[in-house]
């Protein structure tokens, strides 16, 4: 049973400014947003209120408009859903065709004589068949614009809510505001899920900066939604306590405008992550996880990860006390490690971000010492087979189905020594520390979005 199903149902909205101060669910508008259920469905649904006595109230016009807006959002999302699914089928069909054409072009270029007029015509026909792919790609771009539009609609929605609030007086301002915030968060998360999928490609690297020693880690906040653009850098893997905090990526590139945090306990490895304004890291020579809150400069919680190997017992292939690797994706906070009972195979646990309690655990069966690094995207753990040149993404473990597969996803390991690799779900990029260089990669995710009724 997925934790996600538990998140399936949610919320609320818009107190009716009628007789009842707080309407019962049968009276108010309700929005159900499935972040992503077990079948991969992602739908935001609105339930309209039953007819009630408010209809003649002048404010009901505003509220009707509100409902319409929210329904528009729902419709847009359903269209997006359908379209993605349809395009997926199309892309699948076209893929085989492309492979055939590609093969023939290769033969033709190796041996031009093999291309007689008939096979040339054949090839031309195939290419013609491929032409319709262009509008599909165009459509994908339109979808991206649609997501922007959705965001705007949500913003407008909160404006409308504010207007209602003004008419109503200030008595439930805070409550209304909280509800709007919640709505925005949920819709945002739903939109994020629409973009979730399976990793199929990694872009060329972009080197952001060359700084620090051979080993280290750097990151931005991984929480969705977050408007926090600070960059954190932690040089070294051994007994470090100094975290540099830069105001922006631009400042990080220039090495300017930073403040320093001196952690009360030293860290081990490079598997740290910043999630919702706190740094989560492994305390040196222990299997203790620490949550350090940047704003208050204090440790909020520490907890031992039971049985987890530490102190270079089960590091990644590059060593460096990398026994315990914390990370975040669209689904929340995770820790990757191993134990003696698991015979050194990679174990994944989902963590509760406030208490650091383990919520659920998976045994991937993949030996941790044979892994270069690992990172989580959309609930799937991807493992590289080396930290050195020639590394590729070699193994994927799907927590949604507790299954794995071997993969062959290449990427360019430009500086030949990767000591940190983490996905940032907010920016959809991979952050890496490669031999004293801070490097980013874009990722391509293949979307499989099922529509209701499939
Ligand atoms: C909802 O969408 C329809 C059709 O696109 C549009 O005419 C209408 O103005 C929209 N309503 C609101 C409140 O945005
Ligand atoms: C949001 O509101 C602004 C100002 O009222 C309007 O111009 C814009 O079209 C609205 N956007 C959407 C997506 O409804
Ligand atoms: C599990 O997740 C992967 C990748 O995130 C996705 O491709 C796959 O369809 C999901 N499987 C199910 C049954 O939801
Ligand atoms: C993020 O942190 C704030 C307080 O700093 C807290 O209220 C909120 O619940 C946190 N969100 C998550 C998803 O942990
Ligand atoms: C960690 O390993 C070092 C040797 O590398 C050893 O001296 C130390 O006692 C170990 N500490 C713990 C807590 O296991
Ligand atoms: C990722 O893609 C975006 C949009 O195409 C581009 O602006 C950005 O530079 C790319 N980043 C990397 C690391 O390739």
- Mean pLDDT of the 252-258 span: 97
Inter-residue contact 411 to 391 (CB < 8 Å): yes
Beta strand pairing status for 298-304 and 345-351? unpaired
Asked whether 276 lines ligand 4 (CB < 6 A), one says yes
Distance CA 18, CA 49 (A): 13
* Reported pTM: 0.65
Proportion of the chain above pLDDT 90, given as a percent: 49
Q: What is the pLDDT of residue 243?
A: 98
Band the pLDDT of 244: cuts 50, 70, 90.
Answer: very high
Percent of the chain with pLDDT over 70: 61
Q: Is the CB of 208 under 6 A from ligand 6?
A: no
How many angstroms is it from 321 CA to the middle of ligand 5? 11
Task: Output the pLDDT for position 50.
Answer: 38
Q: Which atom of ligand 6 is nearest to the CA of 203?
A: 14
Protein residue with its CA nearest to atom 14 in ligand 1? 69
Out of 2.120.10.30, 2.60.120.10, 3.40.50.720, 3.40.50.2300, the CATH code matching 199-446 is 2.120.10.30
Say how far apart CA 418 and CA 416 lie, in whole Å. 7
User: What spacing in Å lies between the alpha carbon of 180 and ligand 1's midpoint?
Assistant: 20
Residues 163-170: what's their mean pLDDT? 58
Looking at the CA of 222, which ligand is closest?
Answer: 4
Residue nearest to atom 6 of ligand 2 (CA): 156
Question: Which ligand places an atom closest to the C-alpha of 186?
Answer: 4
Ligand lying closest to the C-alpha of residue 41: 3
pLDDT recorded at residue 43: 42
pLDDT of residue 80: 62
In Å, what is the CA distance from 268 to each residue of 282, 284, 288, 293, 422?
6, 4, 10, 18, 16
Return the ligand 6 atom nearest residue 441 CA: 13
Q: Is the pLDDT of residue 19 over 50?
A: no
Mean pLDDT of 92-110: 72
Does pLDDT of 68 surpass 50? yes
Query: Taking all residues of the chain, what is their mean pLDDT, rounded to a whole number?
Result: 77
- Start-end ranges of CATH 2.120.10.30 in the chain? 199-446
Confidence of residue 209 (pLDDT cuts 50, 70, 90): very high
Q: How far is CA 299 from CA 220, 278, 290, 334, 386, in A?
A: 19, 9, 7, 19, 34
Residues with C-beta less than 6 Å from any ligand 1 atom = 65, 68-69, 72
**Average pLDDT estimate for 146-174:** 61
pLDDT of residue 81: 62
Q: Is the pLDDT of residue 61 over 90?
A: no
- DSSP annotation of 347 reads E
- Least confident range from 39-43, 250-254, 318-322: namely 39-43
Quote the pLDDT of residue 18: 26
Question: Cβ(206) to ligand 6 under 6 A?
Answer: yes
Q: Which atom of ligand 2 is nearest to the CA of 150?
A: 13
The pLDDT score that the predictor gives to residue 51 is: 36
Is residue 405's pLDDT more than 90? yes
Mean pLDDT of 292-321: 96
């Amino acid at each position: 049973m997925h934790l996600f199903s538990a998140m399936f149902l949610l919320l609320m909205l818009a107190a009716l400014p009628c007789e009842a101060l707080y309407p019962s669910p049968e009276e108010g508008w309700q929005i159900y947003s499935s972040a992503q259920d077990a079948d991969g469905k992602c739908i935001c649904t609105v339930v309209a209120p039953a007819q009630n006595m408010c209809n003649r109230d002048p404010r009901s016009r505003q509220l009707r408009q509100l409902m319409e807006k929210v329904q528009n959002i729902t419709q847009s999302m359903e269209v997006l859903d359908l379209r993605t699914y349809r395009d997926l089928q199309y892309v699948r069909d076209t893929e085989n065709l492309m492979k055939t054409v590609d093969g023939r072009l290769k033969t033709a270029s190796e041996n031009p004589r093999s291309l007689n007029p008939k096979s040339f015509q054949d090839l031309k026909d195939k290419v013609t068949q491929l032409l319709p792919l262009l509008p599909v790609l165009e459509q994908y771009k339109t979808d991206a614009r649609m997501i922007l539009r959705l965001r705007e609609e949500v913003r407008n929605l909160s404006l409308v809510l504010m207007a209602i609030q003004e008419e109503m007086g200030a008595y439930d301002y805070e409550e209304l505001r909280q509800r709007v915030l919640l709505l925005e968060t949920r819709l945002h998360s739903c939109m994020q899920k629409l973009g979730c999928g399976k990793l199929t490609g990694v872009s060329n690297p972009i080197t952001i900066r060359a700084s620090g020693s051979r080993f280290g880690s750097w990151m931005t906040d991984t929480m969705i939604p977050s408007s926090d653009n600070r960059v954190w850098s932690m040089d070294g893997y051994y007994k470090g306590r100094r975290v540099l905090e830069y105001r922006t990526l631009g400042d990080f590139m220039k090495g300017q405008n930073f403040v320093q945090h001196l952690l009360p306990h030293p860290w081990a490895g490079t598997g740290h992550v910043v999630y919702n304004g706190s740094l989560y890291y492994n305390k040196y020579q222990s299997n203790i996880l620490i949550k350090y809150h940047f704003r208050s400069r204090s440790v909020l919680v520490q907890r031992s990860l039971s049985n987890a190997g530490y102190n270079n017992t089960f590091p990644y292939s590059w060593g460096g006390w990398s026994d315990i690797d914390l990370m975040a994706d669209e689904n929340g906070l995770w820790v990757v490690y191993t134990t003696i009972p698991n015979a050194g195979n990679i174990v994944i646990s989902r963590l509760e971000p406030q208490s650091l309690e383990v919520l659920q655990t998976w045994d991937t069966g993949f030996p941790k010492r044979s892994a270069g690094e690992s990172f989580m995207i959309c609930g799937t753990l991807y493992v590289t087979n080396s930290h050195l040149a020639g590394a590729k993404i070699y193994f994927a473990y799907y927590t949604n189905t507790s299954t794995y597969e071997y993969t062959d996803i290449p990427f360019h390991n430009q500086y030949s020594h990767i000591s940190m690799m983490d996905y940032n779900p907010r920016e959809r990029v991979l952050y890496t520390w490669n031999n004293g260089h801070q490097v980013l990669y874009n990722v391509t995710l293949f979307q499989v979005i099922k529509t209701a009724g499939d």
